[in-house]
Amino acid sequence: MRVGGSGLQRAQRFVLLATGLYRLSHLVVALGAVVRGTVAGAACWVLLGTALAASALLFGTAHRRGWFAPAWVWADVLVTGFALPVGASYALGLGTVLANPWTVLLGGSAAAAAGAGLGLRSVAGAVAVLLAAPLVAAQGQATGALFGHLSSVVSSAVMARVFWWYLTRQGTLLDRATEQAVRAEARRARQAERMAHHRALHDTVLATLTTIAAGRVDANAPEVRERCGREAAYLRRLIQRDDEPGCAEDGWAEDGCAEGGGCREHGRAEPFAEVPLGAALEEAVRGAECLGLRITAQYAALPGVPRPVAVALAAAVSEALNNVLCHAGTGRAWLTAAGTGRGAVVTVVDRGAGFDPGRPPGGGTGLRRSVHQRLAGIGGRAEVDSAPDEGTRVELRWPA
């Protein structure tokens, strides 16, 4: 449940508060009238106690339930709105009621509770009862004050009903908008997860299969078989995964996880805990070396970085090395990684065939998704410098 409840629940709480304060204002007036009164003081205190008890039952029950109980609303109408003024008229005398009509005044707040807490037909019935009360209490002697109370009963019921309708409508619209936003966010999350899996498959399984199909490595070599086994395990986890987030973005290498990572086998890690960047990059290097690429790697003063940063940099390096294997026409690459304070610069260079930056190999899908998008997602920047027959240089910089 959302913090603060739904829009409808918030509307109900507001109406309860407003009608409760309205009743409280009438009770304060009643208390002042009883304290100042001199006629039949004990009886007045009994009547005030009855009003207080009826109010406590009505609003106390509503507070516990979250909304008015129709039975208690009717009880309040009959006791506070009708029996109290009529009883006061006959117990204290007509003159007392007309001179100090606080018992009639309570009918306005009873009408407000009825207007909000009852159905439309029931509201009409409750208002009729409340309109009859001051007329019966006045015993046929109409006064301007009583006509004012009649108007107060009607206006209180109407305003409470209108406020309740408006707030309910706004609350419902708010709930619908929130539900649509939640659904949209869920769709975005699913799309992001699918893209993460697509990138991981492109960087791992597809790169391995492409290299084997091109005959660049011996498929029976132990290191190649080991890599294929890890990637098969990753595919198996991906297929068998239920609603648990996948491991595509949680690890450095081709199997999508590392010790202490976010995969099912190793439990969950703190997503923004700092991890050694060098270990993540070395895992990517070893993965490419399994497919026969010779890599000269140099690391200098690499800092610890948040885990998502290490994951993205390692994945981008994997894609750059895969591109050397698949497109550069060379079996050699150089990787250098150096710290820059709290950041890092990683460079992958080859002396292969190179390419026209306007027409990247494979349509540029790997560079766009696995390199540029990954770096942009962590606040970094990727630059690719290449030309036909002049090799390729990929520079990854974080932060940008």
Structural domains of the chain sorted by starting position, each given as residue range(s) with its CATH number in brackets: 7-178 (no CATH), 214-398 (3.30.565.10)
The token duo for 28 is 């304060």
Rounded to two decimals, the pTM is: 0.49
What would the mean pLDDT of 53-64 be, rounded to a whole number?
A: 92
pLDDT at 241: 55
Euclidean distance between CA atoms 340 and 277, whole angstroms: 12
For the four alpha carbons of 371, 375, 376 and 381, in that order, the dihedral sign comes to negative
CA–CA separation, 317 vs 337, rounded Å?
A: 11
Highest mean pLDDT range out of 72-76, 139-143, 321-325?
72-76
What is the Cα–Cα distance from 361 to 355, expressed in whole angstroms?
A: 7
Q: Which helix (H) or strand (E) holds 282?
A: helix 277-289
Q: Is the pLDDT of residue 98 over 60?
A: no
pLDDT band at 52 (very low <50, low <70, confident <90, very high): very high
Quick one: average pLDDT of 201-220?
A: 72
Average pLDDT, the chain: 79
Q: Where are the alpha helices (DSSP H) in 37-101?
A: 41-65, 70-76, 84-92, 94-99
Instruction: Determine the pLDDT at residue 348.
Output: 95
Cis peptide before 399 (omega within 30 of 0): yes
Mean pLDDT of 95-115: 76
**Which strand ranges, in their side-by-side order, compose the sheet holding 381-386?**
294-300, 332-340, 343-350, 392-398, 381-386
List 394's β-bridge partners, or say none: 348, 384
pLDDT digits (tens, 9 = 90+) for 300-311: 989 889 988 998
